[in-house]
Structure 1
Amino acid sequence: MNNLFDLTGRVALVTGCSTGLGVQMAKALANQGASIIALARRQELIEQVAKEIHDTYGVDTLAIRCDITDTDMVDKAIDEALAHFGKIDILINNAGTGAVAPAEDITDDQFSNELNIDLFGTFKVARAVAKKAMIPAKYGRIINISSMYGLVGNKIAPSSPYHAAKGGVVNLTRALAGEWGKHGITVNSICPGYFYTPLTKETLDSDYFKEYAKTAIPMERYGVEGELDTAAVFLASPASSYVTGIALPVDGGYTSM
């Protein structure tokens, strides 16, 4: 029986691939045989990640420093990736940030920065990869990492710019799915719930947040390493060939209530 999730021969580009969920998803794709292009701002970290993935999974890897808010850097990064691999089959738009403060105290700069990274940055990378690689190839899998906060509001961690940007990612995903389906490109979003990352650990480990989680999450716990990976592998694989435009929550049921 064929392995529906086999990615051997595919090339995957992952943004925000220096720490946290980006690295986990890159490893999951590499485990299925995909070559990996690690994009992030911190050169030393992405080189370490690329080396670790190559050494562990035996796939070809490439580390490219890129700030996704810089259009020229994005274009040059995609050109460099194509010069090395000749194609990009899979894109995981994972790079992002998060401003937490009461809405009435959020500054213009905070709101603008959030949209510039999480929403506009996601678009810039998708645009470049689609135009330079996927549309010419008539094939592509684009996975935009949104958030369950892109689907709902919340009372525990005020972060209106993040909600706005991630909600934008969900509908941007639908728009791109509508436009690029004719080119053989699927565009989907994943909406993670509470997962441990270097950015979230301190908050998630606090007593008040643990108590909140028990009532707000039907499974009464946070997501653990590996529980996001299967969604990414599915949406990157041949198994999802007729799935496009969706927002897939991986949140322990948070958005079901």
Structure 2
Amino acid sequence: MDEQALTGGNATDAVVRAGDTVRKPWTPATPSVTAYVEGLRAAGVDAPKPMGRDDRGRSVQEFVIGPSAMDVDPLSHADLRRVGSMVRRIHDASVGFVPPADAVWETAIPAPGADLVCHNDLAPWNLIVGDRWVFIDWDASAPSTRLWDLAYAAQAFTLNDATTPPEVAAARLTAFVDGYGADPELREALPQAMTARTAAMLDLLKSSHRDGREPWASMYLSGHGAHWSAALRYVETHSARWAAALATPASSDATADPPARSATDA
């Protein structure tokens, strides 16, 4: 079967498409991640179907057809509410997942808790928006918290471009969080959590550059360091605006055109 290298990822080497499948290296965490994805699918979450191991020892999973959310027109407010609701379904389904007793996870950024297993990279570059809207690349799944995972997703989908006017980004953030159905406690905690989660991403890149850990060391030099430095300043500087926006319901204007996306793929 012919194989086609899949590009665009940063943390996984030798990922290929073979027919209707994706093949990637099998790691010590693969069995635990597979169990998690299978548990979510059983609970009604659409995720790429795990398909075992091939004769070369690689993990095999379903290839989901369609572009990523990074490669299409910027998501509308209605789209952002849809994605927020997808994240909520994943979290709610994860509550019922019991990890294997011998579970092994690969985590680059430590989470502040372990309330439930999370994807840990719910972002536009991992969302397919074809006939199906599906999050892919579950390899970083590991125990975390609802707030920590939501903080990363909300920042990635709505606050990742530091050139966006803050009032525009705040409206997009509100649409996303309204789609999630966050309660008042979660809304109140989110601005500070987004700052902390963005800082953690930047710290991973900086420390990896210092210590020579790949792929983050190279990512730091290739533009990701500069991107996440700008993102942190943006998220932190306007924290009060995010808090004010989240304290009120989303605008009923679900058709407003969002701003152009930054060319930087974080």
Question: Shorter-chain TM-score category?
Answer: under 0.3
TM-score, scaled relative to structure 1: 0.27
